[in-house]
Amino acid sequence: MRDSDKKSRYKQPLIYASMLLLGLVLGAWAVLSGVRSPNTSAITPLPQVASISPVSAQDNDRSKAIAVPRNYVVEAVNRTGPAVVRINASRTVAANPQVPEAFLEDPMFRQFFGDQTSRMPKERVERGTGSGFIINKEGDIITNAHVVSGADKVTVILKDGRQLEGKVIGSDELTDVAVVQVKSDNLPIVSLGSSQNLQPGDWAIAIGNPLGLDNTVTAGIISAIGRKSGQIGVDKRVSFIQTDAAINPGNSGGPLLNQSGEVIGVNTAIIQGAQGLGFAIPIETAQRIAKQIIQNGKVSRAYLGIQMVTVDANVKKQVNQDTEFGIKISEEQGVLITRVVDDSPAAKGGAKRGDVIVKFDDKEILTADQVTQLVEDHAVGDKIRIEVKRNGQSVALNVEAAQFPQKFPN
């Protein structure tokens, strides 16, 4: 046998033996390294670490989100929102108010236009939308006077979908407050708060139906208090709350809330073209007017019978230089009475033209708006103490407020 054949015969077993030895070494290394062989059952499995699947993680996040408390706006709206209503008002008006009916019937006019005049509508229906809020279980709703002014039909729509026929109990144009009444069971009602301690910077929330978008909520702050009607271009006996909570047409009559969800005002006015400027009637004023409307169907308003102007350096100079006025004043501040109506409460109480009001019910007076608001806060028959300066001397007056006349005397 050749040497090469002998080598071949011994080489192959050696290769097999080497491969077997290598396999044993690798297997031992795998066991020592803790790696489990697919076909090895003798390896003790490693402890299982708890893991969160994607679904479980999502469920945990959702449960955490539910547990997070809502902000104050949500809580306030949930508390008051159900009692805020939409008011749809319709009124019938002349179709052509600028063209008298007698003119349309004139033979000369009909000669030119023939039967066209007979086909012209005599009336048309105007529709408007506003807001309001229910203040008691009897179904009394506070809103703005201009929302229901002249309305033939009023429909009240609640947040829960109920549509109820509303009746206008009464309204007051000077404060823009009106009361509408509905009849139904289980009516939600608002919680009334106070505007007396409001400060600029306090939170404010408005709820209403602006531009036909029902149950709209906006939030902001109290921007200012005590805004006078002349400052915002309206003729009302109201000291307004100013807010930057968005107020748009349709919000009129809706509530302005504090962060507790209590009503502190009635949204009523916006300045056209301005942004972030809305105004509300203080709830105390709205309550006082609404109470009179509910009890009497009308408002009993105190009246003194004076015309007046705030005194400042410029007014003092003009008065003292006006020879026709005929009165000189030395006061630098206060409220000058420029006219006393004949037979009025002020005249009966001894007030005179040229008097300068310096105190009203023991409150120091600086502006005519103060006097107007203080009179508005009084009822007919109240006794009012007024201190005036007359020719440099202090004079005390006692005036009994009378009912505001239907027509102001000339």
Q: What is the DSSP letter of 166?
A: E
Characterize 240-273 residue by residue with b for buried, 16 or more Cβ atoms within 10 angstroms of its Cβ, and e for exposed. Answer: bbbbbbbbbebbbbbbbbbeebbbbbbbbbbeee
Distance CA 5, CA 14 (A): 15
Q: Which of 131, 140, 146, 229 is catalytic?
A: 146
Between the alpha carbon of residue 92 and those of residues 89, 103, 241, 317, the distances in Å are: 10, 21, 33, 52
Q: Which of 140, 171, 172, 176 is catalytic?
A: 176
Residue 279 pairs in a beta bridge with 242, 269
Contacts (Cβ under 8 Å, ≥6 apart) of 319: 325, 327, 328, 329, 336
Distance CA 205, CA 191 (A): 14
Look up 140 and say whether it is catalytic: no
Q: Using alpha carbons only, how large is the chain's radius of gyration in Å?
A: 40
Q: Which of 195, 223, 229, 252 is catalytic?
A: 252
Looking at this protein, which amino acid is placed at residue 217? V
Look up 146 and say whether it is catalytic: yes
Look up 252 and say whether it is catalytic: yes
Distance CA 64, CA 68 (A): 7
The residues carrying an active-site annotation are: 146, 176, 252
